[in-house]
Amino acid sequence: MNRKTVSQLSLFAATLLSASLLSPIAHAAEDHSAHHAKASAPAAQAEMTDGEVRKIDREAGKLTLKHADIKSLDMPAMTMVFHVRDKAMLDKLQVGTRIQFQVVSEAGKFVVTELKVKP
């Protein structure tokens, strides 16, 4: 083999080696991007969670709910206080009302963004 052929083969081998080493990194970056896109999906696509009204503080815009697991927040079932995005949401509620609701975490507070009274 002449020097030019050896040089071309060396360059080809180096290119293949670089591509094979970078491929897992590129694949991991794609996986991370896809995961990030799922994690930052709009709250409107979050599942509704079942709950029961335990207490209503209309003045403060707060609602105490006994709720099922909130999958979007990785939160187990419990009873806790939530803020509501709009105090008018509380007008149709009374203690004991069964609801479905969506909640998001905003600035360290859990905020109910949507709710529906269950029939």
**Tens digits of residue pLDDT in 32-55:** 444 444 444 444 456 899 999 999
Whether residue 69 is predicted with pLDDT greater than 50 in this model: the reply is yes
Same domain? 9 vs 65: no
Burial class of residue 94 in the structure, from the number of CB atoms within 10 Å of its CB (0-12 exposed, 13-18 middle, 19+ buried): exposed
Share of the chain above pLDDT 70, in %: 61
Mean pLDDT of 50-70: 97
Residue 10 has φ and ψ, to the nearest 5°, of -65, -40
Same domain? 31 vs 55: no
Residue 82 has φ and ψ, to the nearest 5°, of -125, 150
Residue 97 CA to residue 93 CA, distance in Å, equals 6
Same domain? 15 vs 55: no
Domain CATH code at residue 80:
2.40.50.320
Question: What is the residue range of 9's domain?
Answer: 1-40
Which H or E run contains 106?
strand 98-106
Find tokens 């206080």 and name the residue.
81
Same domain? 69 vs 23: no
Same domain? 101 vs 52: yes
Task: Quick: pLDDT tens for 95-110.
Answer: 999 999 999 999 999 9
Q: Provide the domain count of the chain.
A: 2
Of the listed ranges 14-23, 50-59, 67-76, 87-96, the least confidently predicted one is: 14-23
What per-residue confidence (pLDDT) applies to 36? 43
Of the listed ranges 2-16, 22-36, 51-65, the least confidently predicted one is: 22-36
Same domain? 29 vs 86: no
Same domain? 65 vs 97: yes
Same domain? 61 vs 107: yes
Amino acid at 87: K
